[in-house]
Structure 1
């Protein structure tokens, strides 16, 4: 299930209901901390970074034992989240699951899975900046733990050349301090240095801060794994501190 940005007021009603119904809550310890007031009288299983597979296996095993389990994920579980890994684990380990309609494929017992959507990080970030995602956009993670840098670089080049607004996830960590600088260099091959860039840290959570800069002046030291960066396209502009990507309404219908 998806937590959205993390603050309780941005949880969907279905997510709150799923937490209420769950007997076992499984998740990354940082995300568990965001919903701690909702976890009374629950069995809570939390772990740190790089334990995603272990968490998925634990959640599946508890569900197979008959418990109602909520596997929590920040943002939207289907966008760089845990939803896909649950299906990967079930497929790899031969766990029978219901199909998309909730029906078992055969007459035997099957695990029922519900993917509960939430507000993804790029939506939360965009709402603070103004309206930077009003036109076509691409989302790219700079983490090279699971995706080779050459693949990431190729995707950055394609998105930049196609003039997409680009949402950058996982821009910098202690073990990857230079990847944002490398990504910036790639984007500058086909984007103006004056391109507006929005930087949002901990969107809609305690410690939130955000600002608008340019691609030329984007500084990697100011960001970390809890930061989302929105790089504008050739039409994106800044007005009164707001970052806006026009859809083209005024050009077509404004006369």
Structure 2
């Protein structure tokens, strides 16, 4: 049986259900950094770690060990840009986790009433699709929660987001939350015209809100 386990930001954000699954696992599969975040709860499991971009490898590994009590680790919630989004078509159980949107919201104290999440990853969406989603969300006065910001590896989508937000979300506030609920947590808040997307990284959630 394969379980896809959300671990939130690790530490105190791990749910009791996630901890129980980790302790009982025979095989644990995941990105090496996330494995380290749960290391203290691992008991007798075989660990299969991989690099951040080796998503296909993690899928193959999980299917290979489907006859065992196998868990696949996903940060945040598995079904929000996580491994659950890649494995849900198979015979798996999803164990939810605290998503980055909730974690960042708690840090910045920004209510997420009527909000949308948008990913800047071009893995399964075009730049035009990202732009249209941003514009439609702004026109609908939704609070935006933007994931997967990478000004280095995904420079085009990061700059597209910055330019689109500055053009259409005039006078809105932005909240850039780094490493929410982790030791080196940090928050930057300002008006959208002062946003510099180059300050973000893959551990950043960007929230944009019209008060």
Identify the residue that residue 4 of structure 1 maps to in structure 2. 8
**Greater strand share, 1 or 2?**
2
How many residues are matched?
207
**In the alignment, is residue 51 of structure 1 matched against residue 54 of structure 2?**
yes
- Paired residue for 1:72? 73
Deviations 1:208-239 (A, max 9, x none): 11121111101122111110000002xx2xxx
Q: Distance in 1 between matches of 2:197 and 2:118?
A: 16
Q: Give the root-mean-square deviation of aligned CA atoms.
A: 1.4
Max Rg structure: 1
Give yes or no for the alignment of 1:21 onto 2:18: no
How big is the shift at 1:71? 0.5
Q: In structure 2, what is the Cα distance between the partners aligned to 1:188 and 1:143?
A: 20
Q: CA deviation at 1:186?
A: 1.3
- Give the drift of 1:114: 1.5
Question: Residues 184 and 132 of structure 1: is their aligned pair in 2 closer, same or farther, counting only changes over 3 Å?
Answer: farther
Q: TM-score, normalised by structure 1?
A: 0.77
Q: Distance in 2 between matches of 1:119 and 1:18?
A: 16
Give the corresponding residue for 1:220: 197
Q: Which runs of 5+ in 2 are unaligned?
A: none
Q: With CA pairs under 8 Å and 6+ residues apart, which has the higher RCO, 1 or 2? A: 2
Show the 5 A alignment for 1:23-172: 23-63=26-66, 66-88=67-89, 90=90, 97=91, 113-133=92-112, 135-172=113-150
Q: Secondary structure at the match of 1:216?
A: helix
Assess if the C-alpha contact under 8 Å between 2:151 and 2:158 holds in 1: no
Give the 5 Å matches for 1:183-222. 183-192=161-170, 194-222=171-199
Asked whether 1:175 is paired with 2:153, we answer yes
Moved over 3 A (4+): none
Deviates more, 1:29-38 or 1:168-177: 168-177
Q: How far apart are residue 178 of structure 1 and its match?
A: 4.3
Q: Which residue of 2 aligns with 1:251?
A: none
Whole-angstrom CA distance in 1 between matches of 2:164 and 2:127: 12
Mind listing any 5+ residue stretches in structure 1 that lack a counterpart?
91-96, 98-112, 237-255
Deviations 1:132-174 (A, max 9, x none): 31x2011000111331111111111111111100001112242
Distance 1:210 1:177 in 2: 22
Q: 1:173 to 1:41 in 2, by over 3 A?
A: farther
Asked whether the 8 Å contact 2:28–2:46 carries over to 1, the reply is: yes
